[in-house]
Amino acid sequence: MTTGAAKTNLLGLPQGRLEAFFAALGEKPFRARQVMQWTHQRGVTDFDAMTDLSRKLREQLAETAAVVVPTPSLRQDSADGTVKWLFPSGSGQAVETVFIPESARGTLCISSQVGCALDCAFCATGAQGFNRNLSADEIVGQVWHAMQHLPRRPNGEPAVTNIVFMGMGEPLANYRNVLAAAELLISDFAYGLSRRRVTVSTSGIVPHIDRLGDDCNVSLAVSLHAPNDALRDRLVPINRMHPIRELLEACWRYAAKHSNRFITFEYVMLRDVNDSAAHADELFRLLDGKPAKVNLIPFNPFPGNDFERSSADTIRAFQERLRRRGLVVTTRKTRGDDIDAACGQLAGKVTDRVRSRLGERGARTAVA
Ligand code: SAH
Ligand code: SF4
C-alpha cells in the first residue's frame, strides 16, 4: 500500500491534514472536502474522474499525490455470511478484516497493527508477536474496500453500519494512525458514521484512553477479562503496567467526558479460569453503579493454545448472576468460525520482530 515515487497517499488523510495539503498547493480548504467525498463516498481513486476539480488541479494532483487503496490477497465467505479478507502488509505479511452481517446492522472488524505486542494469553494475534503499526491509509483502506465490495443492505444503507477496532492489534498502541482513521470514519465528508457506531477496543493503555477521550469521543470497549489483578496480570500482561483500578478510573473519566456514555467491558469466558460465581461477584463489585455494560465472549480456540471455552451453561449462569443485580450483560455470538474469523482467531501473517529482538515473550509488553 505504498505510493511509490514519494507521492502522498490521500486515502488516510483526515480533513485537517488534507486541507493543509491543499493549502500547500495554494488551494482553498473546500478542495479537501471534495476529494474526501470522491474517494470515500463514491469510491473514486482516479483524479481525472473528479470532475468538479479544474483540469489544472487534477494534473497537479496526479504529479504529487495518489489515492492508493489496498487489494486483498484472499477473501473467504463463511456459511453464516461472515466475510474475511487478508490484506498484504509488505514483506510477505498480511492483516485480516472481518465483516459480520446481522439483521439490524453490518459490523466491520478492522485491524490496526501487523500482529500485537501485548501478548494476551488467550489471543492468536498476540501469539504471533508484533511487526509494525498499520498506517492510517492501511486502516481506512480496509473500510474503503469493504464499502466498495459488499452489496448495500436491503434498506439501501451501505453494507457497513458499524466499525469496531477489534481485529489484529492494539489500536491505542498505534494512537496517531488510529485517531486519523477514526476521524475519517465519523466525518460527514467521508464515511459519516455516528460516534456510537465506531468502537475502539483496548486492552488498557491508560494514558491513551485519556487522550482518546479528549481527541475523539468514539465508543470505548475495554478488554477486562478478569476481575482482580492477580488473574488479569496473567491473562492480559499490560495489567502489570496499568492495573485494574487505574484502568477503571480512566474508563469513568472517559465516560464522564461524554455524558456518561456506557463503556463496554469485554470478558472472554475461559473454562475454570475466570468463569466462577465468585468471579462474577467480583466483577459486579467493580462495575456496580457505573456506566458499564458487559459483553461476554465465549473463548475461541486456536492451535497451540490450551485454554478451553466455558460451557454454555456456565456462560448463561455467569450472565444471569450479573443481570439479576442490574448489570447490562450480553453474550457475543460466535460468527465465522468455519473460516477462522471469530474473535481472537485473527492471525494473518506476521513476522515477529519483538520476540526476536528482546529474546523473551514477557519483555514484549515493554514496547507498549
Ligand atoms: N487489542 C484490542 C482489540 C483486538 S481483540 C483488545 O484487546 O481489546 C478484540 C477482542 O477479542 C478483545 O476483547 C480480545 O481480548 C478478544 N479475544 C482475543 N482472543 C480471543 C479468543 N481467543 N477468544 C475470544 N476472544 C478473544
Ligand atoms: Fe493484542 Fe488485543 Fe490480542 Fe491482547 S487481545 S494480544 S491486546 S490483539
User: Which pLDDT band, with edges at 50, 70 and 90, does 219 fall under?
Assistant: very high
In degrees rounded to 5, what are phi and psi of residue 254?
-60, -50
- Which of 122, 172, 203 for a ligand 2 pocket mutation test, highest count of atoms within 8 Å of Cβ? 203
Question: The whole model's pTM is what?
Answer: 0.94
For ligand 1, atom 16, name the residue with the nearest CA.
Answer: 344
Q: In this structure, which ligand is nearest to the CA of 98?
A: 1
Nearest to 139 by CA among 100, 183, 106: 183
How far away, in angstroms, is 91 Cα from ligand 2 center?
22
Residue 101: burial class (beta carbons within 10 Å; 0-12, 13-18, 19+): middle
Domain ranges of the chain: 8-66, 74-366
| DSSP symbol at 309 | B
If you measure from the C-alpha of residue 125 to the centroid of ligand 2, how many angstroms do you get, rounded to a whole number?
6
Q: Which three cell numbers stand for residue 246?
A: 487505574
Looking at 3.40.50.20, 3.30.360.10, 3.20.20.70, 1.10.1070.11, the CATH number of the domain 74-366 comes to 3.20.20.70
Pocket test for ligand 2, best of 96, 110, 119, 199 (most atoms within 8 A of CB): 119
Can you list the positions of beta strands (E) in 174-331? 198-202, 219-223, 263-269, 292-298, 328-331
Residue 212 CB less than 6 A away from ligand 2: no
Cα(243) to centroid of ligand 1, in Å?
18
Q: How far is CA 146 from CA 138, 142, 265, in A?
A: 13, 6, 27
- Cα–Cα distance, 146 to 161 (Å, whole number): 11
CATH of 8-66, one of 3.30.9.10, 1.10.150.530, 3.90.79.10, 3.90.420.10: 1.10.150.530
Q: What is the pLDDT of residues 153-210, one digit of tens each?
A: 988 999 999 999 999 999 999 999 999 999 999 999 999 999 999 999 999 999 999 9
- Active site positions, annotated: 96, 343
Type of residue numbered 278: A
Report which protein residue has its CA nearest ligand 2's atom 2: 170
Distance CA 12, CA 3 (A): 12
Measure Cα distances from 92 to 127, 170, 331, 348, 350 in Å.
Answer: 18, 21, 36, 10, 8
What percent of the chain shows pLDDT beyond 90? Answer: 85
Q: Is the beta carbon of 170 within 6 A of some atom in ligand 2?
A: yes
For the sheet containing 292-298, what is the strand order? 74-77, 83-88, 94-101, 106-109, 162-165, 198-202, 219-223, 263-269, 292-298, 328-331
For residue 210 the three cell numbers come to 485519556
Summarize pLDDT for 102-159 with one digit per residue, the tens: 999 999 999 999 999 999 999 999 999 999 999 999 999 999 999 999 999 988 999 9
